[in-house]
């Protein structure tokens, strides 16, 4: 291992020469983690601590009452809390799978296949990065309505499976796969789908993980779909239900505790997935501009 003035470069295990870096990084990490810690403790605060002055960062008497009230409120409204949770899990899992399949196959086509208009399609995808979701609400609603998907779970999934930034990242990864390997596989009799699944797909797994995270966050936190395309309360998602907690039967004090619990429920899956896949995300960011 190379050394410079007693400091080991990238040691395999802890070395005392790295202490000065930890002295800088650990306080920064703690500072970044403060909002996460606050969300965690805030969800378990009883009402008197939620409105205590001066505000308390840590909870003193943790309680599950906020979560019980959240579940009870949903049941009182006629739709059990478990139904909202099931809808979100169904929409998110199916949507993430379809998003990965559509993004990866489209990126392969734009990267390795030859057809007329390929460059134009990629430029259109790049142009789509400029549009915020609110700009396409009306065309999206008209499309869903004409397809007859109102009050259908697919109305919550299909509008969100296309992720322009995901397509861009995956295509950049596929561009790095040598054409010679693909041509050799085709000479040996491999079909286009076999080339994609056995040669290309394993190479782009870091980019696929990034697309999965982006798709999960988009679908899990989506409110507009339940608001625009669904009239049946039993088909709406957890995110939509939580968005209605701003005023709880004219009692904003009770609503604060439930909103804190709802924020934690919505936040935990996002942070867990990112923790497990963050190394692949960093790999994607490092290689997305290399050809």
Measure the CA–CA gap between 81 and 49, rounded to whole angstroms.
Answer: 26
Per-residue pLDDT of the chain (291 residues; tens, 9 = 90+): 444 455 555 666 666 777 788 888 888 888 888 888 888 888 888 878 877 778 788 888 888 888 888 888 877 777 888 899 999 999 999 999 999 999 999 999 988 888 888 889 988 888 888 887 788 888 889 999 999 999 999 999 999 998 888 898 888 888 888 888 888 888 888 888 888 888 888 888 888 888 898 899 999 999 988 889 998 888 999 898 888 876 555 556 667 778 888 888 888 888 888 887 776 666 655 555 444
Query: Domain holding 227: CATH number?
Result: 1.10.3720.10
3-state DSSP helix/strand/coil % of the chain, to nearest 5: 70, 0, 25
- Provide the residue range defining the domain that includes 146: 77-287
pLDDT of residue 99: 94
Say if residue 45 is in the same domain as residue 174: no
Residue in the block written with tokens 């679908």: 219
Residues 6+ apart with CB under 8 A from 42: 50, 59, 260, 263, 264
Say if residue 42 is in the same domain as residue 170: no
Say if residue 50 is in the same domain as residue 91: no
Comparing CA positions, the residue from 204, 206, 222 lying closest to residue 270 is: 222
pLDDT of residue 2: 46
Say if residue 175 is in the same domain as residue 265: yes
pLDDT of residue 283: 60
Say if residue 247 is in the same domain as residue 118: yes
Say if residue 56 is in the same domain as residue 200: no
Residue 196 domain flag: yes
């Amino acid at each position: 291992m190379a050394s410079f003035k007693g400091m080991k470069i990238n040691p395999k295990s802890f070395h005392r020469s790295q202490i000065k870096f930890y002295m800088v990084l650990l306080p920064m990490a703690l500072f970044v983690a403060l909002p996460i810690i606050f969300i965690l403790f805030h969800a378990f605060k009883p009402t008197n601590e939620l409105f205590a002055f001066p505000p308390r960062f840590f909870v003193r008497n943790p309680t599950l009452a906020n979560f019980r009230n959240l579940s009870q409120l949903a049941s009182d409204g006629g739709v059990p809390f478990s139904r909202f949770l099931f809808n979100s899990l169904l929409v998110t899992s199916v949507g993430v799978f379809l998003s990965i399949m559509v993004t990866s196959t489209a990126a392969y086509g734009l990267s390795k296949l030859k057809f007329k208009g390929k460059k134009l399609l990629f430029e259109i995808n790049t142009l789509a990065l400029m549009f915020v979701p609110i700009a396409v609400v009306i065309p999206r609603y008209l499309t869903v309505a004409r397809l007859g998907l109102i009050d259908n779970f697919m109305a919550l999934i299909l509008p969100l499976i296309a992720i322009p930034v995901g397509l861009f990242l995956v295509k950049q990864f596929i561009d790095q796969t040598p054409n010679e390997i693909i041509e050799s596989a085709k000479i040996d009799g491999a079909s286009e789908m076999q080339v994609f699944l056995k040669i290309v797909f394993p190479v782009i797994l870091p980019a696929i993980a990034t697309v999965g995270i982006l798709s999960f966050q988009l679908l899990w936190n989506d409110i507009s779909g339940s608001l625009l395309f669904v009239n049946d309360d039993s088909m709406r998602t957890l995110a939509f239900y939580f968005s209605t907690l701003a005023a709880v039967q004219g009692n904003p004090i009770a609503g604060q505790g439930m909103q804190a619990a709802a924020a934690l429920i919505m936040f935990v899956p996002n942070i867990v997935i990112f923790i497990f896949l963050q190394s692949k995300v960093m790999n994607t960011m490092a290689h997305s501009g290399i050809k």
